[in-house]
Every structure is written in C-alpha cells, then in structure tokens.
Amino acid sequence: MKYLKHVIGLVITVVCLYIAFRGVELRQALQIFSRERIRLIPLIAFPALSLIVMWVRAWRWKYFFRQEHQATVWGLTVSNIIGFASNNILPLRIGEMVRWLMARKKVNARLSYILATIFVERFLDTLCVLLCFIIPMLFSRNFPPFVIKVGWLMALVFAGALLILFILRFKPDLAMKISLPVGRKIFSKSLFERFEHFLVTFTEGLKILRDGSAMWKISVLSLFHWWLVTFSYNLAFRAFSVGSLPWTAPYLTLGLVGIGVALPSAPAFVGPLHAAIIYSLNNIYGVDRNTAIGFAVIMHLLMMAPVTLAGLILLWKEGLTLGQLRQRTEHIDEESSLSQPGGAPDQA
C-alpha cells in the first residue's frame, strides 16, 4: 500500500508538471527575475511572514490544551515548523505525524488527545480554505464556467463540513459510539482494549468544541491565520509585479492551491501547487502564461525554503535527524507508550 501511494503521488506530480509547464518559453519565464519587476520590501517580508504564520498556528493550537497539559506557544511552534519542514522533504505527507510526535515532546498529553486537536485544527483549516475559494464568487461572476462549478461544489462541501462540526460539538461521543461496535468485531480482546482507550482520549480532545471561550479564540485565530496567508500571497504578487489583480485574487489562488495540494504528490507539493497557481493567474486573471509559470516556480521556493530551513535548524537543536523522525512515524505504536500519564514533557 505504501508503494502504491508513492506511485500515485508520482503520477499526479508528473501529470501536473506537464500540464503546468508545457509550451513554456524559458527566457520569457525568467523575466520574472528582472530588476524592473522585483520589489524588495515585499520580497523580504514574504519569508518572514511564513514563519510568523507558524507562530500564529501555534498560538491557536495552544487553546486546544488544558492548563495541566503545560502547552507553550514556543513548544508548539517548534512542532509546527519541524512538521511542515518534514512534509517538504519526506514522502507520503508524514509531516502531520511528525507534528503529532513532536507535540508529545512539548505537551503533557496523550498522543490520542493531541491527535484529536490536530483533527479539529485541520478541519477548521479546511473550512477556511473553502471560504477563501468562495469569497471571490460573492463579489464577481466573471469567472470561467469550470471555476464557477467548482465554487458551487466548494460551497456545498463547506456547508457539509459546518454540519459535521456542529454534530461533533454537540455529540463528541458519537465517533466512539459508532466505532466501538465495529472495533469489537474486528479486533482481538487486547487490541480492542487499546482501541477503546485511544477513542476515549480522542473523544476527550474533541470536547474542546464545547468550550465556548476557547473555540471563540480558536475561530478568530483561524481566520487571522488564513488572512495572513492570503496577505502573504498578495505580498508575493507585489514583489514580482504580477499584473493588476483584484483584491480577491489571493483568496481564489489560495483556494485553488488548497484543492491542489490535497492531491497525493511528491514532497513539497511539487506539481499540483504549480498547476494551481498557473491556472489561477493565467486562465482566470489573464496574466501572461510564461509570467505565471515563472511566478509559480519562485512562489513555491518562497513558500517552502524558509520553513524547511528553520525546521532543519530546530531539528538539529532537538538532537534529531530526518531519518529518526521517519523511523518513529513508522513505529508510531511504540511512541504511544510515551503518552502514559505522569510523564513529564520536554520543555522547549
């Protein structure tokens, strides 16, 4: 199964790269780097903002934990940066598992509880990315028919996701009630006991949805986080003088990128990310195709390089290597033994 995922990801990457870069005129694409186009201040601000976004994610993540979990914004920032850096280097999107394991070193909570926080966090991220796609549709109908159809589909998915979120808020035990009878039939007695214990702690993590004060802060920070991301896209457009774009362009571009990177692909989302940016700028906003291609390449580097470099530095400071991280994600059951109560977390 693991090799099948590798193959599917590679095929999608190659197809997206072919679609994105076919017919490119290299000399014209490289003009994106001309001195006349580059604006220094937004170019410098973009990578700095990429790291600030990691800090805001950690600030939001902290509100998922209770006081006794001893979560700190810095510790969770380290977990975020190392996790996202791992996604940019290692295959099979193991960055989320790396975030999961790194957070266990920084927070005095069980792995299953941390997983529940990541589940809700990613659910909110999905809602925000869908909203980024929907917002431009509310202010303009001047889009290709394909984009409008996708917009309607995203609106339906957004409504469905909201419904699921409300169900989880009012019935956090529902996942356990549905899963336990199934688990009892397919697991041995000892495995079922571990599965039940996992679900109990996971469900405990979902109960954060009932904490109105915490969820208010989490929701505001979610919107702020994704506004910062769209602002960084706008900075990149300005840094390379990419046409006269409407204020909604960063939102729609981010929405398309969000859909693209959800597909299996090579590390660092090579292929789908480029195709999404090029389609947005060229097919929707009429930017010259070669300019859009050049911008997609440099945008990808700007998005990945700061977090990857910072992640490698923090990984070295933690006394870990990428090989060790990958090995731990492959033996995640053994790591769960660290989540027994009473174990003091490493302090960041």
In a domain, 305, yes or no: yes
Do 66 and 85 meet the contact criterion of CB atoms below 8 Å apart? no
In a domain, 25, yes or no: no
CA distances in angstroms from 30 to 37, 66, 262, 298, 334, listed in the order given: 11, 51, 28, 10, 49
In a domain, 15, yes or no: no
Q: What digits encode the pLDDT tens for the residues 11-55?
A: 899 999 988 888 888 888 888 888 778 888 889 999 999 999 999
In a domain, 346, yes or no: no
Q: Could you tell me how far CA 94 lies from the centroid of its own chain?
A: 12
In a domain, 149, yes or no: yes
User: Is 344's pLDDT higher than 50?
Assistant: no
Q: CB-hemisphere CA count at 13 Å for 323?
A: 0
Q: What is the residue range of 194's domain? A: 39-339
Could you write out the three-class secondary structure of 162-177? HHHHHHHHHCCCHHHH
- Predicted TM-score of the model (pTM): 0.87
Q: What digits encode the pLDDT tens for the residues 69-80?
A: 999 999 999 999
Do 274 and 16 meet the contact criterion of CB atoms below 8 Å apart? yes
Tell me how far apart the 2 most distant CA atoms of the chain are, in Å: 69
% of the chain exceeding 70 in pLDDT:
94
Do 107 and 65 meet the contact criterion of CB atoms below 8 Å apart? yes
In a domain, 14, yes or no: no
In a domain, 298, yes or no: yes
In a domain, 268, yes or no: yes
Count how many domains the chain has.
Answer: 1
Q: Three-state DSSP class for 106?
A: helix
CA atoms of 127 and 273, how far apart (whole Å): 19
